[in-house]
Amino acid sequence: MARLDIDELQKTFGRDDNQIEAVSGLSLSVADGEFLVLVGPSGCGKSTTLNCIAGLESVTGGDIRIGGEVVNEERPEEREIAMVFQGYALYPHMTAAENMGFGLKMTTNLSASERSDRVGETAELLDIDELLDKKPKSLSGGQKQRVALGRAIVREPSVFLMDEPLSNLDASLRSTMRTEIQQLQEDLDVTTVYVTHDQTEAMTMADRIAVLYDGELQQVGTPLDCYYRPRNRFVGEFIGEPAMNTLPVVAQGGRLVGDGFDYPVPERVEERLAGRELTLGIRPEAIDIVEPGTGAATGTVEVVEPLGESSHVYLDVAETTVTVKSDGPSAVRRGDTVGIEFPSERIHLFRADSGEAIARRDSVPGEQTETPVQTGDD
Amino acid sequence: MAGATDSTSDGRRSGLSWSRIRRYGYDTLTYLVYALAIAFFIFPVLWIVSLSLRNEGAVYTSLQIIPDNVSLDSYRVVFNSGILRWMRNTLVVAVASVAGIILVTTPAAYGFSRFEFRGRRTLLLAILGFQMISPIVIVLPLYDIMRTLGLTESHMGLVLLYIGLQIPFSLWLLKGYFDTIPTELDKAARIDGCNRLQTLRYVLLRPVMPGIAVVAIFNFVLTWSEFVMAYTMLSPGGEDLYTLSMGIYVFDNQLATQWTNIAAAAVIGIVPIIIFFIALQRYFVRGLTDGAVKG
Amino acid sequence: MGTESATDGLSVRTRIRRTVDRSGVGALVDRTVSSPLFWLLPAALFISVFQLYPMVEVFRMSLTDMSLVSSGESYVWLENYRQLLGSDRFRSTLRVTAIYSVASILLQVGLGLGLALAIDYGVRRNLRGPLLTRVTVLSAWIVPGIIIGLVWRIMLLETNVGVVNNTLGQFGFDIVPFLSDAQMAVFSVIVAGAWRGAAFSMIMFYAGLKRVPEQLYRAAKIDGAGPFARFRHVTLPQLKPVMFVVTILVTIYSLNSFDLIFALTNGGPGRATEVIALSMYKTAFNGYQMGMASATAVVLLVVTIGVTAVYMWLFDITEEI
């Protein structure tokens, strides 16, 4: 159990002219026992970062510190980390027990019986002790993932690394495992870095989320923080399902004006916005459907997706599609003309050029205590 | 006619329809092909066995496969001429070659599969190129080289030569097998504390075994049957050194008209290797079709 | 349970860690095995000695008058080639090789494909016999080439001992000079070669056929394609890469064919079946003229590469390999 610090991490691939900068200037800290999720679309550098932490990739620039010590030059087994992979990466010719005990065999001088004791304990913890003698090919996806987890746990690492471990599982299994992993992590209290492209996983499991895009850190904060106070448009659109709606607007005469759209400038926003081109962001769940002609804009209903406890309604507002999420069955039907309305504290404003957020709200609803360690400020 | 409904191949009892007639037609044609093929491909072998079992006078009896008087005389003659020694030589050379090829090729296949380095693609293409060149083209300089190195007239020399000649194909085949194993496994092994050697030994070797088996079988058969190189490098060394193929060829030249004896020799050249291969052909074919071989 | 083992581990932690070997030897081993050179070196050495260097050497030797019996050698540059390409003997050799190769390729590829299709069909239709056929055909491939030549020679003998002639005789035919007539000899050689080559071709095609995804056939059936149409539009295109490889390999084997012909006819009668490879070998080891023989080898190599290049162009291979 240790603290993990990433300091100005830079990772470049390739030589001379064909260089790709996979990660640039990433700085991040994970507190002892914290569950941090690295999230972002494919190619954003999250797996590369994880590999650098693990020691599977060498670092081009910057430092990685585990427990305060710089580990850049150390081999993976020297760093006291364990890793769980997307494809499980179980050794196909070994039994589950042998898989789990392999790391111990290679890096410690424990006797065979000591190893098998530890493997047994961990197997009980994960409820796979019945499966210890089986080979991976006779295990189901979920079982394989537990064995993979067991292999990591039995090493008693300082840091757990997980590379999209749930991506290969089907949806229902995924949500069960999500909860299990969370509980496991809390029980074991091991510093964990978890990589995923699925923002739902990030939101539900993390103590803190780090959003990456194109090799750069976009924002790090608690899930709610990223949800209510995104630092830029990318984070705003990435977090939240369905994705945030965005509309191009211009600040004119105290109003935000766009195509078929008109809205008063919120209080917290400063005056010097006149004439600025902005992007307005509003989450589907924050929008209410109202009478046409009232509200900020009017549109036609294109598609209604009933999901049972909620519905997604897709509106065509002046050639843009606006998604609205409402509770329960939808009151509108395809072809209806409706208006949309939303509270000003739920509005996000981003600069049209850089995507940077302006006038973020001060706090997150319900969150009173500890402002977590943040790099960079508003 | 009851509808031309083209049913699935498990056939519905839809009565006599064109499609069923057609299908029976194809079936019959196929059976005919099988019969012809089996006859054509097995006849020479059967015939030579039959010939070997006859005694001198009965050579002229035609198509009877099993002769009236089965006689093992020819085999006696052949065994007395040292064929066992030749078989032993061939076995030694084949086993040593296969061992050598595997020892040299496995690390190389690992290297090509698991490393990225400049010129990798070019090297692979070059190796593919070598594979396509028939050794007959270089037999002359090889003779010269082997002579200079003192490797002619020696089994050891022949083994080294075989290793060198067979690397391209074996390498290509084995690399394909390595490529089917995801690199995540290597990563997991590294995290578990293995360096590359340990990864290969503990983690990759077992999954790659089928590939190694294919390489072993293939090279064994090839080396056993090889003639040109053995003949060129070993003939000055005297009969004791000969491999089986060489021996049988020379035999044929010596005993020009004693057909039964030559037939016996040929049978000894054929039958063991056929038995060996039939016993293992399942692994061989499965190995080739299992996607490790591209196009 | 979980918390218990966690704290247990803590106190034990310092004991269970093996001392990480930071000594010189360990690091040196590590560095060595981390470089690709370590893995590739033995193979590279073998290939250099037994393939690369000879390739270069054969070119060099062809430019000399090197001989097996005398020790000196001097460079005669292109004289060997001039003599070779101008000689009647060589022209005849080229012709024989061409005829043999073309016939072999057509026969072997065709037979192999046909057999593979028949076997695949039989497997899919659960007929009896595909396995036996496959094994029988494969066995033909295993027989050493030299012995195949030998066996066929015995079978084609022009006395009553030769089973083919004996049988023909029973039906009232005259003895066919399989081996003593120039043209028949070529025919005999082609057939014997096909006996072995078709097996190889069949196995390759069969492997390729098995890899054609079943879904494509189903989709074609739904689109209304009959068996011939399915063959043309699904099977053949999927087999294109295999076809390419098989044809090239069969071509190379045929062009370079040696041991089977060596045993069957030894180039005879006269030079009727003397292919380039045989001619080269004889020049070297019967005529002792290594230089000239090397020139022949080089010509063979150039022809092989040329034909391969033509194939690549024909098959329009862009992304393969």
Q: In this structure, how many other beta carbons lie within 10 angstroms of the beta carbon of residue C86?
A: 9
Here the tokens at position A221 are: 């904060």
The CATH code of the domain at A242-358 is: 2.40.50.140
Which position has the higher pLDDT, C12 or B232? B232
Cα–Cα distance, B20 to B13 (Å, whole number): 10
pLDDT, tens digit (0-9, with 9 covering 90-100), for C151-195: 888 888 877 777 788 778 778 888 888 888 888 899 999 999 999
For residue C4, what pLDDT band results from cuts at 50, 70 and 90? very low
Here the tokens at position C134 are: 């496959």
pLDDT for position A377: 43
Q: Which of A139-143, A256-260, A272-276, C73-77 has the highest mean pLDDT?
A: A139-143
Contact residues of A toward B, CB < 8 A? 54-56, 75-77, 81-83, 85-87, 89-93, 102-103, 106-107, 151, 155
Q: For strand A159-163 and strand A191-196, is the pairing parallel, antiparallel, or unpaired?
A: parallel
* Low-confidence residues of chain B: pLDDT under 50: 1-8, 11, 291-295
Here the tokens at position C311 are: 């194939």
pLDDT for position C9: 43
**Residues with Cβ < 8 Å from B11, sequence gap 6 or more?**
B20, B23
pLDDT for position A97: 93
CATH superfamily of A4-233: P-loop containing nucleotide triphosphate hydrolases (3.40.50.300)
A49, A55, A47, A39: which is closest to A8 by C-alpha?
Answer: A49
Report, as an integer, the average pLDDT of A281-309. Answer: 89
Q: Between A80, A108, A188, which is nearest C18 by CB?
A: A108
Instruction: Nearest chain A residue to B186 by CA: give it.
Output: A89
**Sheet order of strands, A20-30 included:** A20-30, A4-13, A61-66, A69-70
ipTM for the complex shown: 0.83
Decide if A92 and B202 are in contact by the 8 Å CB cutoff.
Answer: no
Here the tokens at position C36 are: 């690709």
For residue A271, what pLDDT band results from cuts at 50, 70 and 90? low
Q: Between A75, A104, A187, which is nearest C2 by CB?
A: A187
How would you write chain A as a 3-class SS string?
Answer: CCCEEEEEEEEEECCCCCCEEEEEEEEEEECCCCEEEEECCCCCCHHHHHHHHHCCCCCCEEEEEECCEECCCCCHHHHCEEEECCCCCCCCCCCHHHHHHHHHHHHECCCHHHHHHHHHHHHHHCCCHHHCCCCHHHCCHHHHHHHHHHHHHCCCCCEEEEECCCCCCCHHHHHHHHHHHHHHHHHHCCEEEEEECCHHHHHHHCCEEEEEECCEEEEEECHHHHHHCCCEHHHHHHCCCCCCEEEEEEEECCEEEECCEEEECCCCCCCCCCCCEEEEEECHHHCEEECCCCCCEEEEEEEEEECCCEEEEEEEECCEEEEEEEECCCCCCCCCEEEEECCHHHCEEEECCCCEEECCCCCCCCCCCCCCCCCCCC
Cα–Cα distance, C202 to C205 (Å, whole number): 5
**Chains B & C: contacts with CB separation below 8 Å:** 268
Cα–Cα distance, B280 to B274 (Å, whole number): 10
Q: Of how many residues is chain B composed?
A: 295
Decide if C40 and B42 are in contact by the 8 Å CB cutoff.
Answer: no
Handedness of CA C276, C277, C282, C285 (dihedral sign): positive
Q: Check if B256 contacts C (Cβ < 8 Å).
A: no
Decide if A121 and C20 are in contact by the 8 Å CB cutoff.
Answer: no
Q: A121, A128, A181: best mutation site toward chain C, by most C Cβ within 10 Å? A: A121
Q: Which residues of B touch A93 (CB under 8 A)?
A: 206-207
Report, as an integer, the average pLDDT of C103-122. Answer: 91
Cα–Cα distance, B211 to C104 (Å, whole number): 31
Q: Taking a C-beta distance cutoff of 8 angstroms, is the pair C174, C185 a contact?
A: no
Cis check: omega of the bond before A76, within 30 degrees of 0? no
pLDDT higher than 90, residue A268? no
pLDDT for position B250: 82
For residue C78, what pLDDT band results from cuts at 50, 70 and 90? confident
pLDDT for position B292: 42
**Chains A & C: contacts with CB separation below 8 Å:** 33
Q: What 3-state DSSP class applies to C34?
A: coil
Cα–Cα distance, B259 to B77 (Å, whole number): 12
Q: Between A87, A102, A103, which is nearest B182 by CB?
A: A87
pLDDT for position C23: 57
Cα–Cα distance, B242 to B81 (Å, whole number): 12
Report, as an integer, the average pLDDT of C30-45. Answer: 87
Report, as an integer, the average pLDDT of A275-299. Answer: 86
Q: Which residues of B touch C160 (CB under 8 A)?
A: 60, 62
Instruction: Classify residue B66 by burial, with Cβ atoms within 10 Å: 0-12, 13-18, 19+.
Output: exposed
Q: Which amino acid is at A281?
A: G
pLDDT, tens digit (0-9, with 9 covering 90-100), for A90-106: 999 999 999 999 988 88
**Chains with 3 or more CB pairs closer than 8 angstroms to B?**
A, C
Q: Check if C125 contacts A (Cβ < 8 Å).
A: no
Decide if C211 and B289 are in contact by the 8 Å CB cutoff.
Answer: yes
Q: Taking a C-beta distance cutoff of 8 angstroms, is the pair A178, A166 a contact?
A: yes
- Shortest distance, CA B105 to any CA of chain C (angstroms): 6
Decide if B115 and C308 are in contact by the 8 Å CB cutoff.
Answer: no
Work out the mean pLDDT of chain A and round it to a whole number.
Answer: 88
B223, B229, B215, B207: which is closest to B153 by C-alpha?
Answer: B229
Q: Which residues of C touch B108 (CB under 8 A)?
A: 39-40, 42-44
Which of A54-63, B248-257, C151-160, C248-257 is the least confident region?
A: B248-257
Instruction: Nearest chain C residue to A104 by CA: give it.
Output: C16
Q: Between C127, C152, C210, which is nearest B289 by CB?
A: C210
Decide if C144 and B225 are in contact by the 8 Å CB cutoff.
Answer: yes
Residues 23-42 on C with a CB inside 8 Å of A are 30
Cα–Cα distance, C144 to C138 (Å, whole number): 12
Q: Across the strands, what pairs with A348?
A: A281
- Shortest distance, CA B116 to any CA of chain A (angstroms): 11
Decide if B187 and A56 are in contact by the 8 Å CB cutoff.
Answer: yes
Report, as an integer, the average pLDDT of A146-173. Answer: 92
* DSSP designation for C172: T
CA distances from C122 to A269, B9, B172, C58, C119 (A): 78, 12, 31, 48, 5
Q: Which residues of B touch C115 (CB under 8 A)?
A: 33, 37
Cα–Cα distance, B143 to B130 (Å, whole number): 18
pLDDT, tens digit (0-9, with 9 covering 90-100), for A65-99: 998 889 988 888 888 899 999 988 999 999 999 99
Number of H helices, E strands in chain B: 12, 0
Buried b (16+ CB within 10 A) or exposed e, C167-200: eeeeeeeebbbbbeeeebbbbbbbbbbbbbbbbb
Q: Taking a C-beta distance cutoff of 8 angstroms, is the pair B83, B209 a contact?
A: no
pLDDT higher than 80, residue C14? no
Total-model pTM: 0.83
The CATH code of the domain at B75-292 is: 1.10.3720.10
Q: Check if C295 contacts B (Cβ < 8 Å).
A: no
Q: Which residues of C touch B230 (CB under 8 A)?
A: none
- The distance between the two most distant Cα atoms of chain B, rounded to a whole number of Å, is 80
In chain C, what percentage of residues exceed pLDDT 90? 25
Domain layout of chain B by residue ranges: 18-52, 75-292
Report, as an integer, the average pLDDT of C272-282. Answer: 91
Q: Check if C11 contacts A (Cβ < 8 Å).
A: no
- Shortest distance, CA C1 to any CA of chain A (angstroms): 7
Cα–Cα distance, A67 to A54 (Å, whole number): 14
- Shortest distance, CA A287 to any CA of chain B (angstroms): 44
Q: Which residues of A touch B202 (CB under 8 A)?
A: 91, 102
Domain layout of chain A by residue ranges: 4-233, 242-358
Cα–Cα distance, A261 to A320 (Å, whole number): 11
**Chains with 3 or more CB pairs closer than 8 angstroms to A?**
B, C
pLDDT for position C272: 87
Q: Which residues of A touch C6 (CB under 8 A)?
A: 156, 187-189
Report, as an integer, the average pLDDT of A177-184. Answer: 91
pLDDT higher than 90, residue A144? yes
**Residues with Cβ < 8 Å from C120, sequence gap 6 or more?**
C130, C206, C209, C210
Which residue segments constitute the domains of chain C, with CATH numbers given? 83-315 (1.10.3720.10)
Q: C16, C18, C19, C22: best mutation site toward chain A, by most A Cβ within 10 Å? A: C16
